Structure 1
Amino acid sequence: MVTGAGSGIGRASAIALGEAGFAVALMGRREDRLAPVAEVIGERVTVVVADVADERQVARGFERVFERFGRLDLLFNNAGTSSPAVPIDELSLSQWQAVVDTNLTGSFLCAREAFRLMKTQSPMGGRIINNGSISAHVPRLYSVPYTATKHAITGLTKALSLEGRAFDIACGQIDIGNAESEMTERTKLGMLQPNGELATEPVIDVAHIAKAVVYMASLPLDANVQFMTVMATKMPYIGRG
């Protein structure tokens, strides 16, 4: 299962997983974005139109996957969103809540359903990969909701990793910096730096992220990439301050 599979990192990862031999379930809110991805993958694919922030839709989506494939071996918790880059005192509660609902609550809901399947299927177990972002470590200016949720994802990853041990459920996190996608279009125009200046930032092909996800996903369950950072080499991340 790949969430946010209709574009960017989710799309590239879903296709790469299909090429690696996985049967793939594509979850997203828009069928018109998921259908072209399914066509690329081929027969061993199913489309799940669902909002990760909606408990009932998520539950139905995982039920559909189990009905189609009989088990769940991998969840890539990838779906995410951000808020306008404005000071905290200009953020509305609804803007905050929208980011929390998708990035954090959505990851929780999907992980919960994955655990329910992985604990009871035979053979037992599976793997969860959470999309953290380098914002799980270092914030950008004017990114309170996004940064807070990505820091929380790190806590979720650690807690799931600990809880999953007894059930052969491995959980790891990939922290991504400036992979070229719809969310990083503005990096080419200029990103606000800590000193208040605007600067263009380098980006990397999303295919590199997809390869990293496939590597993490392909390990046997007695091995785990707990945390992996994949980023543009020259982006202004290391050495900030």
Structure 2
Amino acid sequence: MASAPSEPSTRVALVTGAGSGIGRAVAQGLLQDGFHVVLTGRRPEPLAELAAAAQAAGQQASAIPADVRDEHSVQALFDTIEQRFGRLDVLFNNAGVNAPAVPMDELPVERWKDVIDTNVTGVFLCARAAFGLMKRQNPQGGRIINNGSISAHAPRPFSCPYTASKHAVLGLTKTIALDGREHNIACGQIDIGNALTELSSRMTQGVRQANGSMATEPMMDVLHVAEAVRYMAGLPLSTNVLNMTVMASQMPFVGRG
């Protein structure tokens, strides 16, 4: 009688957009949990700096720059992961961009394409490659965690491309969760509201509200996002968080608009 496949000795996680903000905080959290974390993004310098700091602390990290918008770049990234580690246990699909807050008729089509290419096609390409690797590896299975947004459920004014992209991510998450069942692949989404990072610090100066006014909004420490992702990543594959909303308690969302 054949024995059941043993658990992998090292759990491997991939974080996209790992050079700053939410991606960096999540990568640091997964390192603390004992994952070998593969750090990717378009800028090699912050990835190398984070990997060096992790290694100095006795943690395991590898910096592999890639552009999630580019099919060949993503394939090369996952080929390297499979060659080095033989498996991937967790993908945090985090890389994303926004566009200027302008009426849709004033938004350049190039900016629309940039948001969709990064936030939708990039998420799809990474999830697609992870899904294939997780099907092939032994033991089979793994977890994909997509970075959604409160904008996957309720838009802000003048946020057409970003809101459309995050609604698409929500559909991808649900479909991957369904299609992954027979391969022991779990997929969930974390929807984040007002985590304080370099990119979101402008919100402390005032954000356009649904009634047209400008108002400052409460923010939360990005470490709480990292803790939420760590919880999701640490669950057994028999259990899934399909959707989790982590937000500053007093920000406008419930009742927004």
Mapped contact 1:52–1:102 kept (Cα < 8 A): yes
Counterpart for residue 196 of structure 1: 212
Deviations 1:57-100 (A, max 9, x none): 00000111122222100100000000000000001110000000
Counterpart selection for 2:134 from 108, 118, 129: 118
Deviations 1:38-57 (A, max 9, x none): 12322521111111000000
Counterpart for residue 34 of structure 1: 47
Amino acid at match of 1:49: P
User: Sequence identity, in percent?
Assistant: 59
Deviations 1:188-231 (A, max 9, x none): 11000011111001111100000000000000000000100000
Q: How does 1:1-241 map to 2 (within 5 A)?
A: 1-42=14-55, 43-241=59-257
Gaps of 5+ in 2: 1-13
Distance 2:202 2:161 in 1: 18
Distance 1:182 1:139 in 2: 22
Amino acid at match of 1:238: V
Mapped contact 1:132–1:174 kept (Cα < 8 A): yes
Shift, 1:182, TM fit: 2.2
Q: TM-score, normalised by structure 2?
A: 0.92
Deviations 1:104-140 (A, max 9, x none): 0000000010011000000000000000000000000
SS in 2 for 1:49: coil
Distance 2:118 2:197 in 1: 18
Q: TM-score, normalised by structure 1?
A: 0.98
Amino acid at match of 1:153: V
Distance 1:2 1:237 in 2: 27
Mapped contact 1:126–1:168 kept (Cα < 8 A): yes
Amino acid at match of 1:114: A
Mapped contact 1:178–1:184 kept (Cα < 8 A): yes
Could you list the structure 1 runs, at least 4 aligned residues long, displaced by more than 4 angstroms after superposition.
Answer: none
Number of aligned positions between the proteins: 241
Counterpart for residue 9 of structure 2: none
Gaps of 5+ in 1: none
Amino acid at match of 1:85: A
Shift, 1:183, TM fit: 2.4
SS in 2 for 1:224: coil
Mapped contact 1:73–1:127 kept (Cα < 8 A): yes
Amino acid at match of 2:107: L
